[in-house]
Amino acid sequence: MAKVFAVTNQKGGVGKTTSSVNLAASLAATKRRVLMIDIDPQGNATMGSGIDKYVQPYTVYDVLMGDVSMAEAMVFSEQGQYSVLAANSDLTAAEVQLLEVQSRELRLKNAIESVADNFDYILIDCPPSLNMLTINALTACNGVIIPMQCEYYALEGLSSLSETIETVKAALNPELKIEGILRTMYDPRMSLTGEVSAQLKTHFGEQLYHTCIPRNVRLAEAPSFGVPILAYDKNSKGALAYLALAGEVIKRCEPKRRKKTQPVTA
């Protein structure tokens, strides 16, 4: 059964989509079976995976509307070596149409359950806002990965997001938790970076990933070529950082699985 993580932050421009794409590719590079679901109408995670959002016969919109199954709508990213449920501007209409649908918060969760046994990890790239699409992601996932910059306003946004997570947990998904907080666009030369990092360590402890994603030119260039950083420059600092993050994610998730399957000895 796959571990399902929503990658989200209500503040835009924090490296959310970059993290979704490159974590998916890095997990795939370790031979894990990965599905990335794009539920942002901008479709940037789709394009960053080398999938043309304009020519897909089916997208996440069709899945949410119940027109096709998840298996029918998925495509494979040759550049990233993971499966993708694509998104495009059609998804904008889903926000309104879902309001008239029964069990609207559970549409994505139910769709994921039909393919969960085929993957080790499922990542959901969320829009930078709290709407019905984001609620669907938070209802469907086991945990939330929060990319954020080490700046003052990011802390305020994190507080608001934490409140949202607690609300969804109480109403829709009792198992929901913050899986990890990821520091992005990290520049250790700035004093504010160190101050914010210290506050994050104090308040979130082990939920804060050790890995920091640096500001990196090659990492910023990769999306314009429609490929994850591993396919663009596997030796760059950005690529190595996301590989390290994948290692942390695996270390947190998989020892628990192996522990359950170990034989009992006398």
Write out the chain's pLDDT in tens, 266 residues: 899 999 999 888 889 999 999 999 999 999 999 999 999 999 999 999 999 999 999 999 999 999 999 999 999 999 999 999 999 999 999 888 988 888 899 999 999 999 999 999 999 999 988 899 999 999 999 999 999 988 877 777 788 889 999 999 999 999 999 999 999 988 888 878 888 888 888 888 999 999 999 999 999 999 999 999 999 999 999 999 999 999 999 999 987 554 444 444 43
Phi, psi of 188 (to 5 degrees): -65, -10
Q: At what angle do helices 152-171 and 132-140 cross, to 10 degrees?
A: 70
pLDDT the model gives residue 152: 75
> How many residues appear in the chain?
266
- Give the global pTM: 0.93
Question: How many Å from the N-terminal Cα to the C-terminal Cα in the chain?
Answer: 29
Nearest to 212 by CA among 150, 145, 143, 162: 150
pLDDT digits (tens, 9 = 90+) for 7-20: 999 888 889 999 99
The whole-angstrom distance between residue 155's C-alpha and the CA centroid of its chain comes to 20
pLDDT the model gives residue 66: 93
φ/ψ region of 53 (left if φ > 0, alpha if ψ in -120 to 50, else beta) reads alpha
The Cα–Cα gap between 118 and 264 comes to 28
E strands, the chain, are 3-7, 34-38, 75-77, 82-85, 121-125, 143-149, 178-186, 208-214
Q: State the sign of the Cα–Cα–Cα–Cα dihedral 160, 61, 14, 244.
A: positive
pLDDT the model gives residue 187: 86
The Cα–Cα gap between 118 and 4 comes to 12
Domains of the chain: 3-257 (3.40.50.300)
Helices (H), 144-263: 152-171, 191-204, 217-221, 229-232, 237-261
pLDDT the model gives residue 263: 44
